[in-house]
Amino acid sequence: MKKYFIITILLILFGLVFGLRLYYLQIYERSVELYEEGKFCESLKDRKILTFFSKNMTGFYGTFYAQGLCLKQDIEIAKKSYQGTYRGEDIGETLFYDGIEAHRVRKIFKMKPRIDIVRMLFIESKKLGYKPDSRAKKYLAKDNLDELYKNCK
């Protein structure tokens, strides 16, 4: 009798863990889809839930603070969010690409351009010692951000 009780408990626990994993994946996929559709605030709500499941998801949460999407731009909070998932030198690179992404997102979804947000991200990436390679420079030129980057001090 005791043996069946333990097996039943283990099966229930396995079901709960499996169910939570499926729930996590469903929220993650929905969050990505919402972001890609330009529904940033809805995506942010899902990403807040995801941070309870995984520390790696805090990096995604930092994107919203870095780019000022549905939240006031706060680079310090973004950096703290990235610290859980990236090494120190990678945070500068991440902020650099966040600047390019912030520009692209606003352009794609016909939002008000926010060069001030892009500039702040470029300045902070430089402070952290990031130097763009040839691939990164191509991204800058493609989005006509190369002059802005050069003038960020």
| Burial class of 41 by CB neighbour count within 10 A (0 to 12, 13 to 18, 19+) | exposed
E strand or H helix at 142: helix 134-142
pLDDT one-digit tens code per residue, 63-92: 888 999 888 999 998 888 888 676 555 888
Name the residue ranges covered by the structural domains of the chain. Answer: 1-53, 55-153
pLDDT one-digit tens code per residue, 87-137: 555 888 999 999 999 999 898 888 888 999 999 999 999 998 889 999 989
pLDDT band at 24 (very low <50, low <70, confident <90, very high): confident
CA distance 117 to 98: 10
Residue 29 is predicted with a pLDDT of 87
Reply yes or no on whether the pLDDT at 51 is more than 80: no
pLDDT one-digit tens code per residue, 135-152: 989 989 998 998 898 888
pTM over 0.75: yes
From residue 51, how far is each of 2, 22, 62, 84, 141 by CA, in Å?
38, 15, 11, 11, 35
CA terminus-to-terminus distance, the chain: 73
CA distance 129 to 144: 22
Q: Are 85 and 95 in contact (CB under 8 A)?
A: no
